[in-house]
Structure 1
């Protein structure tokens, strides 16, 4: 299964690189597939590439769904052996 995570572009660098904040994690990603993306835009990031520019509402909804999935996993899956 592939998953693209929404993130907000915090800085665009020379060339096609940008710093993106994805759920609090900051990563450098390629904007080669979304050359129209600008600082402040939200992009879906997959495998180190911005693959689509999305609006803030769509980003917020996707983040909410990802957080729900995380909560479901915490409730449904047993903790690994040796975990406190």
Structure 2
């Protein structure tokens, strides 16, 4: 029985040491991230962000129809896919 008690004490000690180590590591990680965030705000990016265009071009006309060139490209891709699939 004394051997089991010693084993439990050793296991508990090891568990506490491991938990303290993990807590210390995570605390240091949080501190390091906060310090890096403060340092990064002192050095802004050299590139200025560009504004996105207000109108994003689409592949449809004003009538809502797809242009003939897009239909031709899709038709060609489908026929090529079917041709390659049947040859295998």
TM over 0.5: no
Structure with bigger helix share is: 2
Answer with 1 or 2: which has the greater Rg.
2
Structure with bigger strand share is: 1
Higher relative CO (Cα under 8 Å, sequence separation at least 6) belongs to 1
Give the alignment's TM-score, normalised by structure 1. Answer: 0.29
Give the alignment's TM-score, normalised by structure 2. Answer: 0.28
